[in-house]
Structure 1
Amino acid sequence: MDGGILVPIAFFAMITAIVIVPRYFKSQERQKMAETLRAAIERGEPLPTEVIEAMSSNVRSPSLPPSPQRDLRTGIVWLAIGVGLGALGLAISFEEPDALFVFLGLGALPVFIGLAFVALGLLNKPKS
């Protein structure tokens, strides 16, 4: 097998694993919960209403409400990603001079997203 084909195969295998593995473990967790509930019902134990409501309601965890502090943190992370891409381009440009502009262009998008989040964090008033 050609070594050049292994990189794209490994890339897509990692993406597939990142998507499938958490779903598999979540499915196993739900299956164990269902077996436990089934055993409790067969023994005639009463089920608490909280358990029934939790099973019938939305299984996804509620998202955290937006806040200025959260926007600032998100913005700082996006800024760091953009600056990191720029630094990577600078490091690579010693060997390949044209790479600097490519990485600066790629890093500009996260930088501007980060600036928008920082602006939102600074302009929004905390809700009390």
Structure 2
Amino acid sequence: MELGVLVPLAPFIMVVCIVVIPMWLKSRDRREMQATVRAAIEKGQALPPELIEAMTKEVKPAKVSSALRDMRTGVILIAVGAGLAVLGFMLGQIADEALHPVMGAAAIPALIGVAYVILSFFNPNKGHQPDA
């Protein structure tokens, strides 16, 4: 098969890999855990309630939005925008037509970061909540 065929298929292959591989790894871990539990039951060992509870939980609890989390996210996005702006400035030194498109692209994460910083002041969950 030619490499020219793989180039247009690469984004689709990437999406499949991003979705399928984590699902496969999770199912493999779950199978191993079930085999361990099955072996423990066959040997007559009692299962702790914490283990049963951990096996029945499917998803992680939702992270509660807090002012600190919003502020961190905003600062990171502003830094990403600033980094892209510096890249645009450096590319503008080489080719003048590169400055404006890259600066426009840098404005997107930077302005989203500014919005997060502003929202952090209005977040009702002002406390410093630990990440779970």
Q: Could you say which TM-score interval applies, normalised by the shorter chain?
A: 0.7 to 0.9
Q: Residue 47 of structure 2 aligns with which residue? A: 47
Partner of 1:115: 114
Change (3 A) 1:9 1:95: farther
Partner in structure 2 of residue 82 of structure 1: 81
Q: Identity of counterpart residues, as a percentage? A: 41
**Aligned mates of 1:91, 1:6 — CA distance in 2:** 33
Task: Evaluate the alpha carbon distance shift between residue 83 and residue 63 of structure 1 in structure 2; reply closer, same or farther with a 3 A threshold.
Answer: same
Equivalent in the alignment of 1:99: 98
Offset of residue 63 of structure 1: 2.8
Aligned runs of 1:56-71 on 2, under 5 Å? 56-57=56-57, 59-71=58-70
- 1:78 CA displacement: 0.7
| Structure 1 length-normalised TM | 0.78
1:32 aligned to 2:32? yes
The runs of 5 or more residues in structure 1 that have no matched partner are: none
Which secondary structure does the structure 2 equivalent of 1:93 belong to?
A: helix
Would you say how many aligned residue pairs link Structure 1 and Structure 2?
126
Q: TM-score, normalised by structure 2?
A: 0.76
- Letter of the 1:103 counterpart: V
